[in-house]
Amino acid sequence: MKNIIIKHSLALLVVLGLASCNDDFLERYPLDEVSNETFWNTENDLRVYNNSLYDLARNDDAVPIMMGHYQNFESHWGGIWYLDEFTDNIAPRHSRHTRYQQVRAGKHTVTSGSQWFGYKGWNFVRAINVGLENYGTADVSQEVKDKYAAEARLFRGWFYADKVSKFGDAPWVDRELNVDSEELYASRTPREEVMANVLDDLNFASQNLPDDWGDGGGPGRLNRWAALLVKSRICLFEGTWRKYHGGTNPDMWLQEAASAAKELMDNGPYELYQTGDPENDYNAIHQITDDLTGVPEVMYWRRYELGIYTNHVQSYHRGYNGGATKSMVEDYLCTDGLPITLSPLYEGDATIEDVFQNRDPRLRQTILHPDDVLKYGYGNFDTRPYPRLRGMDGGQTIETGYHIIKVFDPNTSYATYNTSNTPAITLRYGEALLNYAEAMAELGTISQEDLDISINLLRDRVGMPHMDINNIPVDPRYTSDGVSPLIVEIRRERRVELFMEGLRYDDLRRWKQGKKLETPDYGIRWDAAAQTRYEGANVLSSMVDGVPYVDIYQGTDFADPVFDENKHYLWPIPTSTISQNPNVQQNPGW
């Protein structure tokens, strides 16, 4: 996003209702006001107006689509890195992250006002619709008008897809409303009607946005390739939702997802970042601390700059997230391409060092190995032994024992409050490869060639064996999921590759796999040897298959997670919304 900050109020500066009089003098427009008659004329007017949409979209709470790191104090909870805390990937216990713990444990309730990332942000839709009603008056070519309309429609489709994913039906509005507009008191529009409109918006965006805005790969404007990735993500969500939850024509959505991803893969200018160093390349782009311009895998990112727009996400990330879970760590394959349940190479978890032996290199590039403390500068280049659990004396302690270093940077982590310029990656090319493979597998048409141009490229980067369509392992932990072993492995690859990039919660819900959230969160093994090694740790444990592990939430309100299939796939509508408009009905079960 450009560093020039456009005030939110710009979207509302069009002045309507000027006196309708034929007197030439009275029809002169005020020189100190922006009006419809004086503003919508040049391409620069359209560009400046759309800048205000990017500014509105920086509010990740109200408009949770281009997720970055929230500014100011909200850095401690608002942002893309934390969304996995809704899931079985990360286990926070800090009181400032209670909302994540509530949703993950199925203990959230109907709120009076809007919850985090909730049923709000409708001023964003209004601002978009104001623009769409006025771009056509500009004295520019139709192509220019269309590219700014495409930008706005990408925002609108993306925003509505998020609302549908969380709440189901949503109030579709495609015009500027007034205080007496009947839509203000209408029922929510049915999900499938909203999503048909969303697809229209995404198609228009992916056909009319320019390939390149001339921003040199910086975090400027969303281009056509970004629109294709967003389209593939949204269509994959909708196609799998309809396949597993019920709905019309899921295959159409899956084909749209596959086609959008394939067009990006075939014709886009992006590629996986790699230097031939499988022990570091996966993590490398997540370690860049300021400027991601020109990184070939990064399709869109948010820039932060001292004195203009900053965060302190690193300061809170290292402790507030609680660490990765046992479930997450155990999903990394062994170096022979087999899951830990089947591979003879798996060394077990008697010590944390054993956990990393003969495993997918992405594990050690995501979770801190005790030998890598100085490599990553963890704990401000701490010389104490790691991991360190809650209650231990000194250093950086966490809940699970699995410290996350995928995005860790010591320089900004220990910087002065709210002066960090840690960038946030919103869209990266690796997701397109995963979207394509999954959509093709769900359609039942995937081939070895499809795997070779998608998932196997991700595996090549880290030196892992290829996925062989004729030799897919059957992991006994997932045979009850109700899908083929191939889809299990594609889903596993997605979990590993996109860890802490904000997609796991949506994935579990669209796959109708919410029951996975009923399994308690555990950390490292907690036998007598571990208790001696981690002297002073204040943790509790439970037995899992006869072996003790750190039990993160034992003794808390979130110790026994639940997932009600009849209600938890959607979030509740706030009571304040229903009281203002009784035609908005509450979601089932709430």
pLDDT at position 150 over 50: yes
| pTM > 0.85 | yes
CB neighbours of 355 closer than 8 A, spacing ≥ 6?
329, 347, 349, 363, 524
Tens of pLDDT, residues 364-396:
999 999 999 999 999 889 999 999 999 999 999
Distance set, CA 97 to CA 75, 216, 420, 566 (Å)? 12, 37, 21, 25
- Percent of the chain residues past pLDDT 90, beyond the cut: 81
Burial of 528 (0-12, 13-18, 19+ CB in 10 A): exposed
Query: Distance (Å, rounded) from C-alpha 466 to C-alpha 487?
Result: 15
Q: How confident is the model at residue 414 (pLDDT cuts 50, 70, 90)?
A: confident
Position 518 scores a pLDDT of 97
Q: How many CB atoms lie within 10 A of CB 173?
A: 19
Is the previous residue joined to 387 through a cis bond, with omega within 30 degrees of 0?
yes
For residue 423 the two structure tokens come to: 């960038």
Position 393 scores a pLDDT of 95
Query: Distance (Å, rounded) from C-alpha 12 to C-alpha 503?
Result: 33
Query: Distance (Å, rounded) from C-alpha 177 to C-alpha 180?
Result: 8
Query: Distance (Å, rounded) from C-alpha 121 to C-alpha 160?
Result: 10
Query: Distance (Å, rounded) from C-alpha 232 to C-alpha 253?
Result: 9
Range scoring the smallest mean pLDDT among 30-34, 137-141, 235-239, 300-304: 30-34
Distance set, CA 386 to CA 370, 393, 402 (Å)? 5, 12, 10
For the segment 557-573, the average pLDDT, to the nearest whole number, is: 97
For residue 429 the two structure tokens come to: 């090319």
For the segment 3-14, the average pLDDT, to the nearest whole number, is: 36
Range scoring the smallest mean pLDDT among 177-181, 230-234, 318-322, 466-470: 177-181
- Considering only the top CATH level, what class is 8-270? mainly alpha
For residue 164 the two structure tokens come to: 């549908």
